Chains A and B, each alone.
Chain A
């Protein structure tokens, strides 16, 4: 299994630009999570989906952030417009409910720098 796939791995953009991060979960997993990691705030859950439906977006910081999951194998996290304080590593993770452990498997992350 290829694991969770994220793209791009690195993104550098200017303030005000739109940024789109992409994630492909592990095949067969029915939960998908987006996290943000910064030195100041640690690992924060932004939003998660079950069977492509957003369940909890209470961690999304502002209306500038939006996430979609159009099908079971693809999700996007979009920031528009981007700001320097959005600079962070964004992780996608997936899990499946068939196993009672509910263990989350993390992708390699996207390092976002907004200048």
Chain B
């Protein structure tokens, strides 16, 4: 059974700092997704990673996938307050199902 772990669960960081969120999963998968959720809102797709070594960047966020290590990272560069949200990774289980991680609640302090 596929299990997905994220760490840290909570992250409080100063504006302008860099940090990385980790997503580990327990069985083989070649697709991984990152979503953002603001309080009381839906999930917004950030990145779709479809192969080993995939790297995607959007603004201050960069995501990567290492399928051999069963690890994805979401790197935040020079954080700003607007990045405060909960970030989820979701790992493909079979073709169509996702298993979601626990989420990382990020708070960027001014």
Which A residues lie within 8 Å of B100 (CB)? 42-43
- Do A104 and B42 touch across chains, with their CB atoms under 8 A apart? no
- Do B96 and A106 touch across chains, with their CB atoms under 8 A apart? no
A95 vs B92: C-alpha distance when bound (angstroms) = 13
**Is B108 interfacial (CB 8 A cutoff)?**
no
Which B residues lie within 8 Å of A91 (CB)? 42-43
**Is A74 interfacial (CB 8 A cutoff)?**
no
**Is A56 interfacial (CB 8 A cutoff)?**
yes
Residue in A closest to B88 when the chains form the complex, CB atoms: A43
- Do B42 and A48 touch across chains, with their CB atoms under 8 A apart? no
- Do B43 and A102 touch across chains, with their CB atoms under 8 A apart? no
- Do B96 and A50 touch across chains, with their CB atoms under 8 A apart? yes
- Secondary structure call for the B interface: strand
What are the 4 A-B residue pairs with the smallest beta carbon separation, nearest first?
A: A43-B100, A106-B43, A101-B48, A106-B42
Which B residues lie within 8 Å of A108 (CB)? 41-42
**Is A25 interfacial (CB 8 A cutoff)?**
no
Instruction: Tally chain B residues at the interface, Cβ within 8 Å.
Output: 22
Give the shortest distance, in Å, between B60 (CB) and chain A (any CB).
22
B41-81 CB mask vs A (1 if < 8 Å, else 0) is 11111001010000000000000000000000000000000
Give the shortest distance, in Å, between A103 (CB) and chain B (any CB).
5
Give the shortest distance, in Å, between A49 (CB) and chain B (any CB).
10
- Secondary structure call for the A interface: strand
A12 vs B72: C-alpha distance when bound (angstroms) = 39
**Is B98 interfacial (CB 8 A cutoff)?**
yes
- Do B42 and A31 touch across chains, with their CB atoms under 8 A apart? no
A78 vs B83: C-alpha distance when bound (angstroms) = 36
Give the shortest distance, in Å, between B72 (CB) and chain A (any CB).
15
Give the shortest distance, in Å, between B68 (CB) and chain A (any CB).
21
- Do A100 and B42 touch across chains, with their CB atoms under 8 A apart? no
- Do A102 and B45 touch across chains, with their CB atoms under 8 A apart? no
Give the shortest distance, in Å, between A99 (CB) and chain B (any CB).
9
- Do A103 and B102 touch across chains, with their CB atoms under 8 A apart? no
